[in-house]
Chain A
Amino acid sequence: MLPWNVHPPARFTGPAFFMAVAFLLAASILPPAACAAPLSDHQATLSALSDVQAAIAEIVGADQSYSTDKKVYYRASQRAINALEGTRGPEYVAAAGSAGDAAGAIGHIDSLLDRKETPVWAPVLDSAEANIRAAIAHLADARHAHELMDYDIAVSRALTYLLVARGGPADIGAFGGLEGVLANTVLGVPDGATIADGCAEPTAAPSYGVHGGYLAWVAVPAGEGTHQLAESAGEQSVIIRNGMILLPTAAAPLVAKECNSHAQVRPSSPSQATATATLSQPAKTTASGADSAPPALYTKAQAEAGAQVFASKCALCHGANLQGTAAPSVAGTDFLSTAQHNGWTLEVIRYLVFNDMPFNAPASLSSTEYADVLAFLLASNCYPAGDKPFPTADDPGFANVKLGPVPGSHPGKNQFGVCPDG
């Protein structure tokens, strides 16, 4: 099994890291669409951002020209206004040309905000638009400035607003503005991209983990060579596992909070590689493990019902995949070899579960629920199902059923030997 390592992002740094927006933006910034079809949400946001960036570049470029010709500055202000407002804005003057596209940043943002529901990104876009409008007001002043100094003051104010509208990482790691919504919400997901549940771990790359309108992570394939990565949005970690590079966004903690089972889907503890030296290895043969033909002690229907009980009453401590988070693993190699080493019988485990589990509410389930969850544990440990249900009452015969690795090969899920049917 691959170790779950957190790696420094250093290996992947390239210019990509210094661009405020990369991969998910850079990879998908297309030439401005000339067609009539409405842009996707993602494209519209990207276009709004590039209009704002174009306006910034325009006025900064004029400043750098050190030109003594006023017209250079006036023209730059107008071209910036045009990029921000689009052809439909009241300050638009066609003759100057535009640094951006026809819709302008405001046109794109309006198209996004013009809908019935209020997505998580709406307030950010609202405030971006307010800042853009403030910038336009100052740029309009700049267009009439008599002295270069007056021009500079007006444009400098405009720039301040535009930087807020554009957004960027703050010192505590969060984004604001358009870059923020692109980095942290579904607006950052390109058309046709693979979208996964943001509460779960990625299973394929590239993919985007989304929950409740927020973007929780971006997964890109690992491997040799450089990668164009998303700006990690101030998060401190780049996680590499299962051949993927996982970038949690700044929204990840928020998402994790919303899906409180987030960490449980992550298999963690037991792996054979570092198993305790003193534990005997799981027996290939049956000598002291499970019986050579392990008894069928439960029905399939019971195990299915038990899976529900486990998820709601046990997974909190034992992990959604039975791998153990705060408490021991209860299925797979680690559990079964410990059971074998310590000589646990089914009676020991039955007694423990019926009387002591859940740890913080012992004996709180019905005997049917306990029988079901034990059926689920047996199934997860590769014991076969049969016709006879697992009894709700104690069975003295359980004292003779030794627990241990079940003979045969069990590819299972999570590489923990947890049976696929479990």
Chain B
Amino acid sequence: MTLREQLKAGVASLAPVALGLSAFICLGAGTALAQSTPSPSDFLNAASDPANWILPAKSYFGNHYTPATQITPENVTGLHLAWKTTLDDAGPMENSPIVYDGTMYVTTAHDHVYALDAATGKVKWEFTYSPHVIAFAANRGIGLMDGNVYIGTLDGHLIALNAETGQKVWDKVTVEDTANSFYTMAPVPYYPPGGGQGVLLLGVSNGDWGGNGKITAFNPTDGSVVWSWTSIPGPGEPNHDSWGGDSWKRAGGSMWGGVTIDTATQTMYLNVGNPTPDFLATVRPGDNLYTDSMVALDISGAQPKLKWYHQFIPHDTHDWDPPMQPILFNGKVGNTEEELVATGDKAGNFWLLNAATGDLVDHTAVSFQKGQDTPPSLTGNYACPNTLGGVEYQGGSYDPATNAVLLPSQNECGFWTADKDAVYVAGQFYIAGAFPKLVGPNTGQMNAIDVSTGVFEWRHHFDLPNYGGALATASGLVFSGNLGGTENAFDTQTGNILWSYDTGAYIQAPTEAYEVNGQEYIVVASGAAGNAAIPELPAAGQQSIVSTFTLK
């Protein structure tokens, strides 16, 4: 090699940057994709596709599990940052990126949408928005269908954007009461298996603000309502008598945690949020159905029909709803294989149900629990976990190789107070008390729970909460982000941490895997701590960041 070649070779380390930039120049010309959004069969087969990640929890089964196997326990130490893109919005990052055909769609706290080149992180287009924030600025992602990107916003709009350009196609206010209702959940595309009109499934966030929970199937062409289902039974409906007096009118029960669907039977599994007012339960006597429950809905007809419900916490007094999207899987219990559905709640419980009947199969306490039978009082009292503790929304995964559910949990305690009476004020929390004051250490765990026995196969304890959900890989790894900002890879068998990376901002978003040009990537978003802020958090940047990792 001549010196000049050597010099060039030396400069070759420059190439990724330089090429990236020049590739960017060409973007203006627009490279049209043959098909910009997934087909109905792509959605049906989402679980077995190692390349694309087209539903918030990988597939309709709610299982954050990838068949991709390039990254293994043996080579994971060689995992390094592939790219990192900082997005121009301040707030917590809670989104599940959607990756299809080399493009990644991510959102930020104030409903900005970015289409990124999944191999380089370069911004292909962006959509910015400035919604009025009712309470929490956060967005959990987009839905991709029929050539469009769909986002539900903090000011109650459902917006369709052209998936290739980011141009607005339509924009409609789809909540009923903009004073107390908004969207944070990612709209979920669903095509009935027999053909027919596809729909977008979207639950409204209004529970803690004095609304009643509702999940709606919207027509993706214009935002019109195909059907909707309310979680609080009205007069004349079964279980209406689980609400004393008029308390059912402002009752909570939001369904904003994501939908799990058994496409074979067209059964939708949904978790229903807490009852309101959260902390003064005396004004709502009864079990308060279907709050704090999992419901199974038959969605094969024109209107969903309730198949079964399983209430985890009757008459909740502490906002301990199950925010986690249910995981539907075939697992071994004893020696028999069963169709199971698993979830967790903020009271620190892991629940395993029979998917066909809703009967309880097993229950494991995953967080420190204390004072759970005493409702908050006027002068206040302690209970654990607090509303940020237990199992949160980011979800978990089932690993068939070990017959284990991988699930993070938090140990956080709180001091709770209730008010004398419950007063509804439009646009304010309808909680009749205060969200708990943090007390004591706030820590987290990563758990592997044996489905057969309900006993931990292993637990890893962190000094900080571990909100990042769990991504299991077919190669035997579990990825999860710690609130402090570190993304970790565990050995699924042993629970040993094999690899870590500090993203530089706080992680509250789930981890995902995808492939571009045959190369496997891991992605996680991080940002401000926001309402999850705790005193012991290390100082970190509050920028909104998307980080991806790959092997050399």
List chain A positions with a Cβ less than 8 A from chain B.
3-6, 8-10, 13, 17-18, 20, 56, 59-60, 63-64, 152, 155-156, 159-160, 163, 168-173, 234-237, 239, 248, 252-254, 256-258, 260-264, 266, 268-271, 273-279, 316-317, 319, 324-329, 334, 338, 341-344, 348, 352, 355-356, 359-364
Task: Say yes or no: A360 contacts B90, CB within 8 Å.
Answer: no
Q: Are B92 and A326 in touch, CB under 8 angstroms?
A: yes
- Let me know if B437 is at the binding interface, CB within 8 A: yes
Q: Which residue of A lies closest to B80 (CB)?
A: A172
Cβ contact within 8 Å between A328 and B429: no
A268 to B434, CA, bound (A): 27
Q: A236-B84, A263-B541, A326-B530 are in contact. Are A362 and B27 (CB under 8 A)?
A: no
* A6 in contact with B90 given A159-B6, A273-B130, A275-B132 (CB within 8 Å): no
Chain A residues with CB under 8 A of B134: 328
Shortest Cβ distance from residue B318 to the other chain A in the assembled complex, whole angstroms: 15
Number of A-B contacts (CB under 8 A): 230
**Quick check: A4 and B86 within 8 Å, CB to CB?**
no
Report the Cα distance A270→B435, complex, angstroms: 25
Query: Across the interface, do A363 and B86 meet the contact criterion of CB distance under 8 Å?
Result: no
B425 to chain A, nearest CB (A): 5
* Beta-carbon contact of A155 and B133 below 8 Å: no
CB pair B437 A363 closer than 8 Å? yes
Which residue in chain B gives the minimum CB-CB distance to A355?
B434
Residues in chain A near residue B437, CB distance under 8 A? 360-364
C-alpha gap A260/B10 in the complex (Å): 37
A–B pairs, 18, beta carbons within 8 Å: A6-B87, A64-B4, A156-B3, A159-B7, A160-B10, A168-B11, A168-B13, A171-B17, A257-B504, A257-B540, A274-B131, A325-B91, A326-B138, A334-B132, A355-B434, A356-B429, A362-B417, A362-B434
Name the residue in A262, A263, A264 with the highest tally of chain B Cβ atoms < 10 Å from its Cβ: A263
* Known pairs A268-B90, A362-B437; A172 contacts B542 (CB<8 A): no
A422 shortest CB reach to chain B, Å: 19
Task: Pick from B28, B425, B426 the residue with the most CB of A within 10 Å.
Answer: B425
Bound Cα distance A170, B11 (Å): 10
Apart from A160-B6, A325-B137, A359-B531, what are 8 other A-B pairs with CB-CB below 8 Å? A13-B22, A248-B86, A253-B84, A256-B543, A316-B529, A342-B426, A344-B425, A355-B417
B504 near A253 with CB under 8 A, answer yes
* B132/A253 in contact, CB under 8 A: no
Enumerate chain B residues within 8 angstroms of A319, measured Cβ to Cβ: 90
Q: How far is the CA of A266 from the CA of B541 in the complex (A)?
A: 13
Docked-complex contact A359 and B435, CB < 8 angstroms: yes
**B299 within 8 A of partner (CB):** no
Chain B residues within 8 Å of A17, by CB = 18, 21
Tell which of B44-52, B121-129, B367-375, B491-499 binds the partner: B121-129
Assembled-state Cα–Cα distance A152/B3 (Å): 8
A360 touches B534 (CB 8 A): yes
What CA separation (Å) do A359 and B136 show in the bound complex? 11
B426, closest chain A residue (CB)? A342
* Complex contacts, A260 vs chain B, CB 8 Å: 539-542
Known interface pairs A10-B21, A356-B434. Does A348 touch B135 (Cβ–Cβ under 8 Å)?
A: no
Q: How far does the Cβ of B506 sit from chain A's closest Cβ, in whole Å? A: 10
Least CB distance from B427 to A in Å reads: 4
Q: Is B225 an interface residue (CB 8 A)?
A: no
Residue from B11, B417, B543 having most chain A Cβ neighbours under 10 A: B543
CA distance A359 to B10 in the complex (A): 53
B170 at the interface (CB under 8 A from A): no
**Nearest residue, chain A, Cβ from B439:** A361
Cα–Cα, bound, A341→B426 (Å): 9
B110 at the binding interface (Cβ < 8 Å): yes
Q: Does chain A have a CB within 8 A of B302?
A: no
B61-106 contacts to A, CB under 8 A, are 80-81, 83-92
CB of A20 within 8 A of CB of B14, answer yes
Whether, in the assembled complex, B345 has its beta carbon less than 8 Å from a beta carbon of chain A, the answer is no
In angstroms, Cα B529 to Cα A338, docked, is 25
- Knowing A248-B86, A269-B131, the reply to whether A344 touches B137 (Cβ < 8 A) is no
Whole-angstrom distance between the Cβ of B189 and the nearest chain A Cβ: 25
Give the nearest-CB partner of B434 in chain A: A362
Chain B positions within 8 Å of A276 at CB level? 131-132, 155-156, 173, 178
**Residue pair A6, B126 in contact (C-beta under 8 Å):** yes
Please indicate the chain A residues that have their CB under 8 angstroms from the CB of B27 in the complex: 8, 10
Bound: A356/B433 CA distance, A: 8
Task: Choose from B4, B25, B178 the contact partner of A278 (Cβ within 8 Å).
Answer: B178
